[in-house]
Structure 1
Amino acid sequence: MAEDMDSYENALIQRLVLRLPNTDPAEDNLKIDRPASMSSSVTRSPDASPSMGTLEALPLELLQHISEFLDFRAISRLRRTCLKGRETVDTVLAYSRTVTHASKALAALGKIGMMRHHSVGALYATLVSQECASCGASGACLSLPTCERFCDDCVCKSHAIRVAALEICGFTSAVADEIFSAYETWKETSEFAHSQDLIDFATQFIESLVYHRGNAIAYEDDWDSALEGLGIRPEKRHALLKAEHTELRMRGTAETWAKYMVETTYGWLWSPEKDRLSAPTITVALPATPPQDHVMLYKGGAMTHLQCVWPAWEPDDVKFGFNFGTLFFRQPTDFSPDNSSLIYFAESEEWAHRCAKLADDICYPVPAAILHVAVPSSMIDKATRIADEDFKQLAFKCLQGRNRLGIRRQNLRLYVKASLLLGQVCGNSTAQVEEFTDPEQITIVKMEGEEPLQYAFVGDAMALELNDKCNGKIWIEELRREGLAMYREA
């Protein structure tokens, strides 16, 4: 299995499969032997209820049986409701044995956001079994998304695991199965199969669905139906359509956001955790003020994308150190550059926080973060400052050739037609902008009174300069640990 898992296509299986130990109970091995009775030590909490209410009328055996149909998140909540709940849950063999002897399995499920997908009884039954779900041989691997055991050979060939990976990325079960089945057929018949992996194929599949079923572009469009037509799961659609995300959502289309959540999540699944951040780091409190002669800039988004500025190895070439070039042109953004070699930062930490919150909602279980960078004041003067008037000029001059920001006409035309600059930020519909005769007619809707100010650093040379001059002045704050940040000393 090891050689097969080194391939690009199968790398994500390492994230979705847990190898179970065979003989050593100290390494989370579950044995089939079942103790006749179990003791439970319960500490009384002063504010805990002593009763389970109407559930008290049920016999213990029935409560235990019902509890096995709960997932681990639900049964843990039941255990915390009252003393009787704790006593009852602790006598559920499937729960107590799994928590005691299979903590690694539970931790692995939690990391990929699958804790709520399997019942206590189903997971326990799989853990105490021995057979591969496919061939019946000894199965040493636990498929986290499907809650099945597989042997080494079958886990690398599993259709179900790859379909489950696409579901985690955001597709419905039916569309995920359709994509992977089409991908398998295409690989067998196409001479170009070696040049495209599963996520590229899934991205092109989204594009084909847009062509046949339509897109959501303007504010008044039916975004939910459009995203549903692209095969996106209901919980992902609802997350993107939260009112608090409207301003950011209108900087993309249903197609661009579908691609973003799928590609971001797949990249997180595909990239082994141990390879993401091998440079030594410490956790520190965020600085209250920037260093002297520096300005703080921010960028919010998926942790895996922002961590690319952290070196995983350290050759002499500085460009492989803090690689700011990896931040080039990543959705969400406002401008389509000539060669995609622009790095965007927000002046407002609140704006970056909102970007991170959106990424956290639509790309779960991928962790979201805010990148804090202290940029020398001298470099700020070299950056392209994008503010109210720039938004107006950009939207207005899209049909009049090249503008002063140096952005191609055809790119601007596509962006304005797709309302990427409109909606709640520019405040006008595409049709309105196309009818305007003066850029001052465009209404800019500010974010809670703040100017939507951004800085764009253009090209590889600027990225290398950021690498050099910002070394030792970079913090990555995980959204769920606000106020604390990973920091690497220069």
Structure 2
Amino acid sequence: MNSIPTDIRTHVKKHPDAIIRVCSYHRRDFDLVVVRSRPHEMQSIRTSLQAAFETLPAAKLGIFDRLPVELMFLVHRNLDIRSFFHFRQINRQARVLSTGLHEYQLISKHGLEGLRGPLRTGLAHCFTITDLYRPLVTDKCSTCGGFGGLLFLFTAERCCLDCLQSSAHYRVLPPVYFRQSCTHISKSAPAPIRASFADRAWHL
């Protein structure tokens, strides 16, 4: 505190509420480009995602129980998120095992929004727990190397707002424009090679 100039310390003491309001300013433009939820909406399920049932497991996992725990965790890391949660719902033993995965523990505690995004958008089958864990343990934008405060849902990559808005790597084409582009290409493209060869052979 001694290294802070006197005039700044004076402003901090006089206007603490204003400073907090400015520092916690909610950027409305983020609402247009990000998927987010209100904290109280996730609070009801946070505990169930982060912990197993208190009752001890009564059933086993069949032939899967023959594997060492290390191999079980290896399988879990390579399951897509949707399959991971399907496995988690088999029985109490499956829930205990899946909850004990280190990567899942960190995601469910610190990266719940990143987990909610793929589930909400129907992309949960495209990514594994490891895919979400990897951007959680870094703070760099995968494109420019600066601070990346966002997660690009289509590739599960960290990115910054500037790159999200300007980089071609994150450019998404709406389906209607994609269909129009494909129609235009199909009309202007030359005939397939096989058809060209067939016509040429026919004339010879």
Q: TM-score, normalised by structure 1?
A: 0.28
Looking at structure 2, the residues matched to 138 and 155 of structure 1 have their Cα atoms a distance apart, in angstroms, of: 12
Matched ranges for 1:57-72 at <5 A: 57-72=66-81
C-alpha offsets along residues 136-177 of structure 1, whole Å, 9 cap, x if unaligned?
1111111111111112321212323224x55xx4xxxxxxxx
- Structure-2 residue corresponding to 1:83: 92
The one of 211, 218, 230 equivalent to 2:187 is: 211
Shift of 1:123: 0.5
Shift of 1:14: 3.7
The change in CA–CA distance for 1:109 and 1:68 in structure 2 (over 3 A counts) is same
SS of equivalent to 1:50: coil
The change in CA–CA distance for 1:18 and 1:141 in structure 2 (over 3 A counts) is farther
* Kept after mapping to 2: 8 A contact 1:18/1:141: no
Looking at structure 1, the residues matched to 51 and 91 of structure 2 have their Cα atoms a distance apart, in angstroms, of: 14
SS of equivalent to 2:158: strand
SS of equivalent to 2:126: coil
Greater helix share, structure number: 2
SS of equivalent to 1:137: coil
Looking at structure 1, the residues matched to 75 and 88 of structure 2 have their Cα atoms a distance apart, in angstroms, of: 13
- Structure-2 residue corresponding to 1:132: 141
Looking at structure 2, the residues matched to 205 and 127 of structure 1 have their Cα atoms a distance apart, in angstroms, of: 36
**1:51 equivalenced with 2:27 (yes/no):** no
Q: Which runs of 5+ in 1 are unaligned?
A: 20-25, 29-38, 170-198, 214-490
* Kept after mapping to 1: 8 A contact 2:115/2:132: no
Shift of 1:96: 2.4
SS of equivalent to 2:89: helix
Looking at structure 2, the residues matched to 122 and 18 of structure 1 have their Cα atoms a distance apart, in angstroms, of: 18
- Structure-2 residue corresponding to 1:42: 53
**1:108 equivalenced with 2:99 (yes/no):** no
**1:120 equivalenced with 2:96 (yes/no):** no
C-alpha offsets along residues 369-398 of structure 1, whole Å, 9 cap, x if unaligned?
xxxxxxxxxxxxxxxxxxxxxxxxxxxxxx
Looking at structure 2, the residues matched to 208 and 49 of structure 1 have their Cα atoms a distance apart, in angstroms, of: 61
The one of 92, 95, 120 equivalent to 2:104 is: 95
* Kept after mapping to 2: 8 A contact 1:98/1:124: yes
C-alpha offsets along residues 320-366 of structure 1, whole Å, 9 cap, x if unaligned?
xxxxxxxxxxxxxxxxxxxxxxxxxxxxxxxxxxxxxxxxxxxxxxx
For residue 118 of structure 1, what is the amino acid of its counterpart? F
In the TM superposition, structure 1's runs of 4+ consecutive aligned residues that sit over 4 Å from their partners are: none
Matched ranges for 1:251-330 at <5 A: none
RMSD: 3.3
C-alpha offsets along residues 271-311 of structure 1, whole Å, 9 cap, x if unaligned?
xxxxxxxxxxxxxxxxxxxxxxxxxxxxxxxxxxxxxxxxx
Looking at structure 1, the residues matched to 148 and 53 of structure 2 have their Cα atoms a distance apart, in angstroms, of: 37
* Kept after mapping to 2: 8 A contact 1:72/1:120: yes
Number of aligned positions between the proteins:
151
SS of equivalent to 1:142: strand
* Kept after mapping to 1: 8 A contact 2:52/2:92: no
Looking at structure 1, the residues matched to 150 and 82 of structure 2 have their Cα atoms a distance apart, in angstroms, of: 23
Looking at structure 1, the residues matched to 80 and 103 of structure 2 have their Cα atoms a distance apart, in angstroms, of: 11
Shift of 1:111: 2.8
Q: Which runs of 5+ in 2 are unaligned?
A: 1-27, 43-49, 190-204
* Kept after mapping to 2: 8 A contact 1:146/1:160: no
Shift of 1:41: 4.1
The one of 167, 175, 195 equivalent to 1:158 is: 167
**1:141 equivalenced with 2:150 (yes/no):** yes
Matched ranges for 1:414-429 at <5 A: none
Looking at structure 2, the residues matched to 142 and 69 of structure 1 have their Cα atoms a distance apart, in angstroms, of: 20
Looking at structure 1, the residues matched to 180 and 107 of structure 2 have their Cα atoms a distance apart, in angstroms, of: 41
* Kept after mapping to 2: 8 A contact 1:18/1:143: no
C-alpha offsets along residues 103-141 of structure 1, whole Å, 9 cap, x if unaligned?
222222233221221110110111221111012111111
* Kept after mapping to 2: 8 A contact 1:18/1:105: no
- Structure-1 residue corresponding to 2:13: none
Looking at structure 1, the residues matched to 72 and 126 of structure 2 have their Cα atoms a distance apart, in angstroms, of: 21
Shift of 1:82: 2.3
SS of equivalent to 2:124: coil
Looking at structure 2, the residues matched to 131 and 71 of structure 1 have their Cα atoms a distance apart, in angstroms, of: 24
Greater strand share, structure number: 1
Looking at structure 2, the residues matched to 70 and 98 of structure 1 have their Cα atoms a distance apart, in angstroms, of: 15
